[in-house]
Chains A and B, each alone.
Chain A
Amino acid sequence: MELNELTIHELKDKLNKKECTIPEIVSSYFKKIKEAEPKVDAYLTLLENEAMDEAKTMQEKFDKGESTGILFGIPIAIKDAICTKGVRTTSASKILDNFISPYDATVMEKLHSEGAIMLGKTNMDEFAMGSSTEHSAYKTTKNPWDLSRIPGGSSGGSAAAVAAGMAPCALGSDTGGSIRQPASLCGIVGLKPTYGLVSRYGLIAYASSFDQIGPFTRDVEDLAILLNAISGHDEKDTTSENREKEDYTEALVKDVKDIKIGVPKEFLGEGVNEEVKEVVLKAAKKYEELGAKVEECSFKVADYSLATYYIIACAEASSNLGRFDGIRYGHRASEFKDLKELFKKTRQEGFGDEVKRRIFLGTCVLSSGYSDAYYVKAQKVRNLLREEFAKQFEKYDFLLTPTSPTTAFKIGEKMEDPLEMYLADICTVPVNVAGVPAISIPCGYSKDGLPIGMQLIGNYFSESKMIRTAYTYEQNTEWHNMHPNI
C-alpha cells in the first residue's frame, strides 16, 4: 500500500515505528496529485516546495526527539475560504483573485502548532454558495468515483482530494451542508460541528449564524484526531463557546447499546432516491443489530427549513459580502467615473452569477416592505425548528437521515435551475438552521458504484457520543475501506 492511501492514524503509527519519514509521506501525496489532479481538479493552489521544505525541517526535529503535536508531519488540504498567511486565499471568487491573506485563521494556527503540513488550498463554490463546486469562478472539481459527476459542494475540492488520496484529511466549512454533502457523495467522513465548537476567525464569512469549519477524513478515528486539533474557545470569535476541551479519541469505543436513534420519515419521502432510501434504512437496521434502539419518528417542520435557510443565509450574505468594494483588497474595476460606480462595477465584475443571486435575494428580504414578510418570519420559523429538534432530543440521542437525497449528479445537470440545486441540501440544511452538530459517514453504494452517506444529527455538543455511534457502525462495516480507482 502506498503512503498516500493510509489514514492519519496509520501514518502516525508508521512514523513512530520509523517505517517512513515525513518527506516520504509528503512526496507520496504530491506524486498522487501529479497523477490525479489533472483529472479531478480538486486544488486551486498547490504548495509543493513549501510543504517539502517544512517536511525536511520537521523530520530533523523528529529525529532529535523534538516532535510535538497530534498531527506532527501529517499533510492536510485546506478549503480556500480559510485564510492562510502568505498564501493566496480566493474563496474561489474573482473578486479575491489576487488576495494574499496577511494572517492565519485560528484553525490554521492550531494546525501549525499541532505539526500539520498544508499541501494546498482546495476548490469550492464561490464564497461557499453552492452544492457542486460548479459555481467556482475557476473550475469544476470532478467526483473521483465518476469524473462526469460533481463531488458535491461547496467544499467539493476538499472532499475530492481526500477521496482520491491527494490528502489524508482536509478542512471545509459547512453553512447548509457544505461538508456533509460532499463527504457523502465522495464516500468519506465529514462533520459539521456544533455552532461555536470551532473558531470561525479567519473563515471568509458567508452566513455568520450558520457557518462552521469542520473536518474531512477517511475514517472516524481520524475525524476524532482532527477535531481534537481544531476545536476550542477562541477570544477572537465571540460566538465560540468557552467550555472544557474534550478528547474525542476517548469516544472511539464500539458500543451503541445505550443509544436511541430516531429515523424521521419526512427525510425519506418525496425527492429521496429509492436506492439511497434503501441503503439508509439498512444502516438503521444495522444499528438495531448492534444493540441500539431504533424507531421511526416524525420531524414536523422539516418542509420549512430550506426556505428559512435561504432567506436568513442570503440576508446575512448580502451584509457580509458588502466588504468587497474594491478599496482595501481584491479586484477593482478599471473604469469608473466616481466612487459609487467604482463599487458597482467592481462588484459586477468580481462576483459570479450565484453570488449575485444570493446577494439580491438577501437584499430583497431585508429591504423595506419585505423584511417583515420574509426575514422576520424566517427568524421565527428558525426558532420553531430549534424547538422541534429539542423535542426530538428528549426522546432520541440521534436522528438518522440520508445526507443527500441522491447520489452525485452529472456535471451541468442542475446548473440551469437554481432551485433544483438548492434542493440538494434538503437533508443537511435543518442542522445549520438549529446550530446542532451532524456527521456524514459512508453507508453503501448505488448499483452504478456511487457512494451513499448517512447523516447522524445530535444535540448541541454531543460530538463525543456522535463519534462513538459513527465509529461503532463503521467498525462493523467495510464501506470506509472502499476507495475510488483513480
Chain B
Amino acid sequence: MKIDNDTIKYIANLAMIQLDKDEEEKYAKALGQILTYTEVLNEINVDNISEDSSLVKEYNKFRKDEIKQPLDRDVILSNAPDSEGGLLKIPKTI
C-alpha cells in the first residue's frame, strides 16, 4: 500500500509527533513499504478465527485493598521537567 504525504501528516498528528516537511516523504515511504509487506496476511483465510488473542484468560485478578507506602512526592517531582509548589507545571490549557 502506498502512503502519501497527506496520510503521513494525518498519522503523525494522531501520534502527536511533529513532522518537518522534509521528513514526510521518508516516513511515508517506510510506512508504505512495511504495510505492503504485511499484506502477506491477505493470503490466509481467518473467517472463523476469534480476534481475542489474550493469553491471560483470567480477566479480573483481585487483591486486598491495603495501604502501602507510596513513592515520595519530591522524588517523583525531581524527574519532572517543570514543577511548582509540589505540583507538575504545564502551559495554560484554557
Contact = CB atoms under 8 A, between A and B. Distances in A.
A383 interface: yes
Interface in A284-315: 301, 303-304, 306-308, 310-312
A379 to B, nearest CB: 5
B20 to A, nearest CB: 8
B49 A374 contact: no
A382 B11 contact: no
Given A209-B55, A357-B30, A344 B49 contact: no
Interface stretch (A50-58, A99-107, A245-253, A392-400): A99-107
Contact of B11 (A195, A311, A360): A360
B41 A363 contact: no
Contact of A342 (B75, B79, B91): B91
Nearest to B3: A364
Contact of A307 (B30, B33, B40, B71): B40
Of the listed residues B16, B35, B37, the one surrounded by the most CB atoms of chain A closer than 10 A to its CB is B16
B65 interface: no
A273 interface: no
Contacts of A328: 76, 79-80, 88
A377 interface: yes
B51 A102 contact: no
Contacts of A62: none
A408 interface: no
Contacts of A312: 53
A343 B16 contact: yes
A224 B22 CA distance: 51
Contacts of B71: 102-103
Nearest to A324: B16
Contacts of B52: 379, 383
B60 to A, nearest CB: 9
B38 A374 contact: yes
Contacts of B33: 418-419
A238 B38 contact: no
A382 B72 CA distance: 41
A196 B55 contact: yes
B55 A374 contact: no
Contact of A209 (B54, B81, B82): B54
A380 B46 contact: yes
Q: What are the 10 tightest A-B residue pairs by CB atom distance, in nearest-first order?
A: A332-B81, A348-B18, A380-B46, A329-B79, A344-B18, A307-B38, A380-B49, A382-B53, A363-B15, A379-B53
Given A99-B79, A304-B44, A344-B16, 16 more contacts: A102-B75, A235-B61, A304-B41, A307-B39, A342-B91, A344-B18, A348-B19, A357-B31, A359-B17, A361-B31, A364-B31, A378-B38, A380-B53, A384-B49, A422-B34, A435-B55
Interface of B: 3, 8, 11-12, 14-20, 27, 30-31, 33-35, 37-44, 46, 49-56, 61, 63, 71-72, 75-76, 78-82, 88, 90-93
Interface of A: 98-100, 102-103, 195-196, 209, 235, 238-239, 301, 303-304, 306-308, 310-312, 318, 322, 325-332, 336, 338-345, 347-348, 351, 356-357, 359-361, 363-364, 367, 374, 376-384, 386, 418-419, 422, 435
